[in-house]
Structure 1
Amino acid sequence: MAGGFLAHSESVLKNHVLLSSSDLDEVRSGVAGVLNEHRLTPRARHLDARLYGAVTAGLQMCLLEYGGAVAVETAPSRDFVLVQSALRGEVRVRCREGQWSLRPGDTLIMPSNVSLELEWGTSTTQLLIKIPKALLYEVYEHLTGKPVDDPIDFAREIPLDAAPAHGLRTLIEYFCSHLAPAHGARSGPMGLRIAQQALIGHLLNTQAQGLRDQPAPEVRRVLPRCVRRAQEFMESCVQEVISLQDIASHAGVSVRTLSRAYQDQHGVSPMAALRTMRLNRIRDELKGGRADSVSEVAYRWGYQHLGRFAATYRERFGESPNETLRRRVRGQP
């Protein structure tokens, strides 16, 4: 991914100066604050570091230059994945997983959970993309329809002339286009979010081992977090007296937000869903031999008005609770 291919991205990122220093301690702490903890050792007297970049709410995209040759020893990156592309110069990377040499146009998805040793040559410019694993897993879940069970294993290298490299260049430029003012205005946080999801999705699709060749998953909705949390809370407290405010508080949103999200996903309100859960549990008890009478079960589940309970039950299941109980006594399904 040579510098000429990303000239626009480089010019955009250089409008966002994060660090400019020749002081070793200042350079180390400044780069560590944005990217990762590390040990920095100059190989020559000349150190003229520049760090440019966009620190957004999601991924971070930076340009890093040390000026002179340096050695870098990084700490394990447990909470994020780092993608490094060489624009100018050369960087040699070594760890217990292997070793690589990044020259202009090369891209490497850095190994996670291990320490790395890097040797930066003189006058080297690298583009780095820092992706929080929480965001990576979120995009993975949207792509596959299932949560991440194991650490994602990436194919490390993205050669210059390979199709994934062309796609990645395009998406880096697309991301940076949302950082640069266009006709006097930025695209806003929504544009950045769409751009970063597209970039992460491309890396997962082309580089995640075993993911590219998987059959497309069945189409399924990935529920908003507040709806998932509301459902989990209701299922765990189905026999307790809880209010809509209790459910919303546990889900971490307002009553109005939860009601709208739940209605959008399921077509019913949270309290209607809770009543259905309770009726299903009551029916299981009546059919499963865990009750001697309808009134016993109804009272235990909080129904004080038996007539109203029986009408609600019949509306839901097309028969009265007494009919369900009698069929169980007679041994009918």
Structure 2
Amino acid sequence: MTSKYPLPYHQKMNLQDVFDLYDDKLRLVEKKIMELFRNKAPVIPLIGSYITSSGGKRLRPLFHLICADLAGYKGDAHIEIAGIIESIHTASLLHDDIVDMAEMRRGKPTANSVWGNQVVVLVGDFLYSNALKAAVAQKNQRIMEVLSEATTRMTEGELLQLNKIGDPDITENDYIEIISAKTGALISAACRIAAILGGLSRDEEVALAAFGMKTGIVFQMADDVLDYMAEEGELGKKLCKDLEEGKITLPLLYLLRVAGADEIAEIKKIIGENFTGEGIERVLELLKKYRSIEESLKKAGLLVEEAKSELKIFDDSPAKEALLAIADYSLAREK
């Protein structure tokens, strides 16, 4: 199966152009995702239908499909693997919402708030194991190694984050380690597996994996910045939810580095005990005073350029342009 290329490769794409290019393949991936929810226990496909109808851009499958094109892959296994990757991501979201006691995702009640934690944690377990079972059926040891490493890192990232909840002494390196594991690892794996399918050289495989990791980190940085900017209707969760949960993300890390001593003590007190509207308003006021949002976006912007530079090893093509468009979107979506 080949992708549609309505644009010449030298014409700059936007994200909608990319989705239009891969619309047919993403529809096939959607079917694969639903297949992985099939089970005689009726609650599993019921929750699967609920989750898939909630939206989501399917960015991880998209990374994989585009990289498969970039790698020159001509088979159909990338459709199956894209579904597996999204299913692993979905399982992680089910578990994350339980851990975070989240009530809303993408503007809808979370599955755990509808069906309860006991049911949803088991559905998440089922989806993880069923996705990996489908991956085993590909009979490619390297693909299994990459997926297994990614899922392990995702769990490690969640545990690292829990260990740092409410800790104002968290470092930027700690933060990067957490989001690299929680978000970057699976996107990087999606890109690397496409390189494996296409038989790319070791250097090309490493470049795609690095592109995926860096772009994934930027996606999470942008989400963390949006948490201090967006209204609930735009983001699907209320403003400063991360702060309320005790998560110290990039804007707050920058603020703690540059604020005055009295202000830092005040921020630490808010992090430790005062999740009232007054405390949150004070943090927002200080973020504005020290331009923490702008500085966070500046750091993320530098990482976007690093990610794009990883693609210099590849010749110009529609697939390369599509990846560059996604890299730009990873940060631009906050505007």
| Bucket of the pairwise TM-score, normalised by the shorter protein | under 0.3
Structure with the higher helix share, 1 or 2: 2
Tell me the TM-score normalized by structure 2.
0.25
Larger Rg: 1
Structure with the higher strand share, 1 or 2: 1
Tell me the TM-score normalized by structure 1.
0.25
Query: With CA pairs under 8 Å and 6+ residues apart, which has the higher RCO, 1 or 2?
Result: 2
